[in-house]
């Protein structure tokens, strides 16, 4: 740890501890703002036998999607849930009304978040089964696989087991950076005394929300009752008067609960639920005005064969949602390379790492965009530039995901500059798609291939890379 960072950390240890206590108090006082979920019963799924990893014994139960409504069992927004935890007390039954949104659970596994956001019911995942009951059961088992260690090869139904394994493979290959979407953001103004609020839907699209109530006990706000409007989803500008620090609270009964939000029962013995179809409800978002939420103690980079391995650590965290890892080459704009979830609130040393793979040869700057749970961010720059050299050999990697529908990624390395071609062939050797044919500098590359745009039907295909004296052919499978 360098002296400057150490000095900052020491000066703020006491303040950080106080902030964590304040957040705990705030969460406790927010209990009356919880949104209730009325669970009516299952809507899709089937009863299946499997080996329960919690009990270590064979189990037979219904696995699938539960239907529910928020606020009111009759008129409230209609939503759906999967079970996050596999434990299920013997007395558990539906319908029930003892569930509410959970603000105390730790962050989700990226793979679980990916599954809920990218598969049935709100999205049609790659290779979705025509039998929706078996699809819902497979999604549920894939969640339990990552959450509680369920072995998918113990599932009695071979169709469900095979589909659950496919979903798990897709999640492992594609989930990096997935998190619960933040649907309310405090947006800082160019004038440091002003801010606005932006509201979005589950897919990040702007939405209009009225009746937003602001609270600020450490100063005065120019307005306390605001609304956001389309097309931007932004509210009017709000001025902070006579306030250098403190918590600004934004509350509405119409904020969006995004997919992968966690709901829990009044009883700790009951499993938590994972929102699979979003809805609106009462939510409270807290902005820590004037306080740095994360104490960064180190930030380093190491280059390993075209991969930039980034490592950083924090001495403490308050309200920390996630880090966006951003990269840019000289003279270009910043791009987001990936995302890593934060720890929320902690006073302990926490270490992070992220592999930025297949980076083209060149010189780059890196930075971390740290976001708190309300969407506010702080920037941390890597102090030194990173130089990535040209690869020492040509290579072509297996596409991922594979099988795929309809988009897959192909990585390859070019040792020397020149003409590079990447084409797709059917099993008869006929070229059916041209992905790339042109001049390329030496470096590592990643290309996305869209089978729908290429007009391909389900089946087995081969893709071939030719560059200089190098050529290689690999197989890929399209499933619709």
**What CA dihedral angle connects 375, 381, 382 and 385, to 10 degrees?**
120
**Is 230's pLDDT higher than 70?**
yes
Q: Are 320 and 360 in contact (CB under 8 A)?
A: no
Cα end-to-end distance, the chain, whole Å:
52
Q: How confident is the model at residue 47 (pLDDT cuts 50, 70, 90)?
A: very high
Summarize pLDDT for 384-422 with one digit per residue, the tens: 899 888 788 899 999 999 999 889 989 888 888 899 999
- The Cα–Cα gap between 249 and 33 comes to 12
Q: How confident is the model at residue 424 (pLDDT cuts 50, 70, 90)?
A: very high
What is the predicted pLDDT for the residue at 7?
Answer: 38
What 3-state DSSP class applies to 114? helix
Within 10 Å of residue 359's Cβ, how many Cβ atoms?
21
- The Cα–Cα gap between 473 and 378 comes to 45
Please name the residues in contact with 268: beta carbons below 8 A apart, sequence gap of 6 or more. Answer: none
Complete DSSP assignment for 148-184: H---GGG-S-HHHHHHHHHHHHHHHHH-TT--PPP-E
Summarize pLDDT for 233-264 with one digit per residue, the tens: 999 999 998 776 788 999 999 999 999 999 99
Q: What percent of the chain has pLDDT over 90?
A: 61
Q: How confident is the model at residue 64 (pLDDT cuts 50, 70, 90)?
A: very high
What is the predicted pLDDT for the residue at 292?
Answer: 60
What is the predicted pLDDT for the residue at 281?
Answer: 92
In Å, what is the CA distance from 405 to each residue of 126, 167, 401, 408, 409?
A: 5, 12, 9, 7, 11
What CATH number labels 181-257? Answer: 2.60.40
Q: For the chain, what's the residue count? A: 480
Burial call 49-68: b when 16+ CB within 10 Å, e when fewer: ebebbeeeeebeeebbbbbb
Of the two residues 373 and 221, the one the predictor is more confident about is: 221
Q: Domain extents for the chain?
A: 3-9+293-388, 36-174, 181-257, 395-478
Q: Which two tokens stand for residue 354?
A: 């992220």
**Do the domains spanning 3-9+293-388 and 395-478 agree at the CATH topology level?**
yes
What is the predicted pLDDT for the residue at 393?
Answer: 87
Please tell me the least confidently modeled range out of 14-23, 222-231, 255-264: 14-23
What is the predicted pLDDT for the residue at 351?
Answer: 94
Burial call 106-126: b when 16+ CB within 10 Å, e when fewer: ebbbbbbbbbbbbbbbbeebb
Summarize pLDDT for 102-113 with one digit per residue, the tens: 876 767 889 999
Q: Omega of the bond prior to 119 within 30 degrees of 0, cis?
A: no
Q: How confident is the model at residue 21 (pLDDT cuts 50, 70, 90)?
A: very low
pTM exceeds cut of 0.75: no
**Is 198's pLDDT higher than 90?**
yes
User: How many whole angstroms from its chain centre is CA 3?
Assistant: 34
CATH fold, domain 395-478, is Immunoglobulin-like (2.60.40)
Of the two residues 374 and 271, the one the predictor is more confident about is: 271
- Report the half-sphere exposure of 162 (CA within 13 A, side-chain side): 7
Top-tier CATH class for 3-9+293-388? mainly beta
Summarize pLDDT for 146-162 with one digit per residue, the tens: 999 999 999 999 999 99
Sign of the CA dihedral 400, 180, 203, 41? positive
Range 437-441, long-range pairs (CB < 8 A, 24+ positions): 440/414, 440/467, 441/360, 441/361, 441/414, 441/417
Q: Are 354 and 346 in contact (CB under 8 A)?
A: no
Average per-residue pLDDT in the chain? 87
What is the predicted pLDDT for the residue at 73?
Answer: 82
- The Cα–Cα gap between 187 and 101 comes to 25
């Amino acid at each position: 740890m360098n002296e400057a960072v150490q000095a900052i950390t020491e000066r703020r240890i006491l303040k950080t501890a106080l902030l964590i206590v304040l957040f705990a108090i705030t969460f406790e006082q927010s209990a009356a703002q919880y949104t209730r979920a009325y669970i009516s019963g299952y809507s899709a799924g089937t009863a299946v036998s499997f080996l329960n990893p919690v009990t270590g014994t064979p189990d037979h139960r219904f696995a699938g999607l539960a239907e529910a409504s928020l606020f009111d069992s009759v008129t409230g927004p209609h939503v759906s849930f999967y079970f996050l935890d596999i434990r299920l007390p013997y007395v558990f039954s539906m319908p029930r009304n003892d569930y509410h949104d959970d603000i105390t659970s730790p962050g989700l596994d990226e793979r679980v978040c990916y599954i809920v956001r990218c598969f049935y019911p709100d999205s049609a995942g790659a290779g979705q089964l025509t039998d929706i009951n078996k699809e819902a059961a497979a999604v549920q088992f894939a969640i339990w696989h990552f959450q509680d260690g369920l072995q998918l090869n113990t599932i009695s139904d071979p169709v469900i087991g095979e589909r659950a394994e496919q979903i798990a493979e897709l999640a492992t290959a594609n989930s990096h950076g997935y998190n619960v979407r933040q649907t309310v953001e405090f947006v800082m103004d160019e004038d440091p005394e002003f801010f606005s609020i932006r509201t979005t839907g589950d897919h990040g699209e702007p939405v209009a929300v009225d009746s937003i109530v602001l609270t600020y006990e450490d100063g005065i706000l120019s307005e306390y009752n605001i609304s956001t409007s389309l097309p931007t989803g932004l509210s009017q500008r709000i001025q902070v008067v006579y306030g250098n620090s403190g918590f600004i609270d934004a509350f509405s009964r119409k904020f969006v609960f995004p997919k992968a939000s966690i709901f829990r029962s009044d009883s700790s013995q009951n499993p938590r639920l994972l929102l699979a179809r979003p809805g609106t409800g009462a939510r409270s978002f807290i902005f820590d005005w004037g306080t740095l939420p994360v104490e960064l103690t180190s930030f380093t980079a190491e280059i390993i064969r075209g991969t930039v391995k980034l490592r950083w650590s924090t001495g403490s965290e308050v309200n920390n949602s996630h880090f966006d890892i951003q990269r840019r080459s000289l003279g270009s704009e910043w791009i987001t390379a990936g995302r890593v979830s934060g720890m929320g609130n902690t006073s302990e040393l926490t270490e992070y790492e992220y592999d930025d793979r297949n980076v083209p040869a060149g010189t780059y700057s890196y930075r971390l965009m740290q976001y708190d749970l309300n969407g506010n961010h702080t920037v941390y720059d890597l102090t030194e530039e990173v130089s990535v050299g040209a690869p020492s050999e040509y290579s072509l990697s297996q596409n991922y995901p594979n099988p795929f529908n309809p988009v897959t990624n192909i990585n390859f390395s070019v040792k020397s500059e020149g003409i590079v071609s990447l084409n797709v062939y059917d099993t008869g050797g006929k070229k059916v798609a041209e992905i790339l044919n042109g001049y390329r500098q030496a470096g590592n590359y990643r290309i996305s291939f869209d089978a729908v745009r290429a007009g391909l039907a389900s089946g087995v295909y081969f893709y071939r890379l030719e560059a200089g004296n190098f050529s290689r052919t690999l197989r890929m499978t399209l499933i619709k």
